[in-house]
Chains A and B, each alone.
Chain A
């Protein structure tokens, strides 16, 4: 009689002492993956041999949806992509359509766009800072960041009525002018904000644990960063001086005086320092924008595209007709295609809009900065410790709503 057991091949015990590698799945419910990101990690002990991101858990078919909605209805979809920077998404989309329509936007509307977008950038960076520090183990920062962010959300709410989904910009201008008393409230926020940034620095920058967790971790060189298409603070953290607000200015950014912070090291720490400095630069831009606010119209002079004021609608027949036509049938956008890049809080947000001439776009595509920045994660994660992966994901500042769209 044979002593060997009749074991099916899948249950055979294979003893391979040299094969110490192990594949584990990190996410999609892991709290530090900032949403529903799944990483397939091949580990050798605690060292990452290979990291493969798996995305799409939050895919909602937004680009398909755009093709079934009128141009003005698309604005509310953009809010839900990068939900930490909705005004930036609004801006990129409406500017793409405005480019197709060749609309002139009034000065005041442009200034308000800059002002609110920079406030939004600060708010987005505050969420990044709070969650990034929380991931690494510094809990206190989170509360301080959200205290400041709350003030910005209150301002955005005062202007637009929405906190997370403002949809404040319209094709041809703004939904409405700023409310009375808005400027003093912004001033009040600005007066305390620089002190708050110093507070964040006290909590983190000198902290030796934070330094050890971030310095020399997740390094990516400038050439690699460009090759991988990194943009925004991630690219500037690798020493590349590139900011779309400077390179291809839009909404009048060329008139503002601000610096583009860069750090040469290309590690998590460099990206941290870049964003910290960027908040102060955004503060500077908001101060300048406040100084530039002059009374004037906030909607372009294009009655067939821009909804008329409520008052005009009650007095003028043509305004009422235009209102009805825009709402019921939309407006035709001449055939053509544009690519509109802006510097969102996370990097280059590009919107590709193609029109066939009707009231609905034929194709809308978003180049989300988070999507591209995340694709470089395997490069940064290789050879890192498993705990460093958390720090690297935090430093990329990804939002899965934008990656999965």
Chain B
């Protein structure tokens, strides 16, 4: 995390002289939104963390841009995880990408929202190879399909497991008598 206070001061239009000299993540994301308005639909800043909502068709482009551009240099995918927001929520699922820069030491979160009837999102394994296992884990637990993933299999649960264990409608103790086929 960079300093939370800095981020809030650095929100678009109210850049104060006290904010740090380096571009803060929220500034970077705002800049990216200006150059590619379709890539980022919303920016949230909370608890000193910047979250950018990215439509799924642009996630690969946004990731590789953030990775390669000299200002942001998000060369490290720290984490990728799925979330089930609950059956009544629309869209129900989200995928969070936690990006980190090994040189500039700042972090942001990209978020892709997915509706239950179309759980497909392009893979980012071609941007960071570390996404491979993270995406397999998300597929394993939520059934989110990462299109273009080289090896999309279950990773922690057995191959013949029924259902997706971290969904809210999956019972804590599994299906009786046994969740395997």
Contact = CB atoms under 8 A, between A and B. Distances in A.
Interface of A: 55-56, 59, 61, 63-65, 68, 99-100, 102, 226-229, 240, 242, 247-248, 336-341, 348, 350, 352, 354, 356, 362-363, 365, 367, 371-372, 375-376, 404-405
B166 interface: yes
Residue among B75, B102, B134 with max Cβ neighbours from chain A (10 Å): B102
A319 to B, nearest CB: 29
Contacts, number: 100
A56 B157 contact: yes
A100 B47 contact: yes
Contact of B84 (A56, A59, A68, A363): A363
Given A63-B166, A339-B98, A229 B130 contact: yes
Contacts of A56: 154-158
B70 to A, nearest CB: 16
Nearest to A99: B47
Contacts of A229: 76-78, 128-130
Nearest to B136: A375
B102 A240 contact: yes
Interface in B96-135: 96, 98, 100, 102, 105, 107, 109, 128-130, 132-134
Nearest to A404: B156
10 contacts: A64-B172, A229-B78, A247-B105, A248-B1, A337-B49, A348-B78, A350-B78, A352-B96, A356-B86, A362-B85
Given A63-B166, A248-B1, A363-B81, 20 more contacts: A55-B156, A61-B172, A64-B166, A247-B105, A248-B105, A336-B47, A337-B49, A338-B47, A338-B49, A339-B49, A339-B78, A339-B79, A339-B107, A350-B78, A350-B98, A352-B79, A352-B98, A372-B133, A372-B134, A375-B130
Contact of B78 (A55, A341, A375, A405): A341
B155 A226 contact: no
Contacts of A64: 165-166, 170, 172
Interface string B72-90: 0001111101011110000
A338 B45 CA distance: 11
A68 B172 contact: yes
B2 interface: yes
Contacts of B109: 337, 339
A367 B156 contact: no
A375 B96 CA distance: 19
Given A55-B155, A341-B78, A375 B165 contact: no
Given A56-B156, A59-B156, A339-B107, A227 B47 contact: no
A247 B22 CA distance: 14
Among B81, B85, B165, B166, the one with the most A-chain Cβ atoms within 10 Å of its Cβ is B81
B133 A226 contact: no
Contact of B47 (A102, A226, A228, A375): A102
Nearest to B111: A337
A59 B77 CA distance: 24
Given A226-B75, A348-B78, A367 B47 contact: no
Contacts of B102: 226, 240, 242
A64 B137 CA distance: 13
Nearest to B141: A63
B63 to A, nearest CB: 13
Interface in B122-181: 128-130, 132-134, 141, 154-158, 165-166, 170, 172
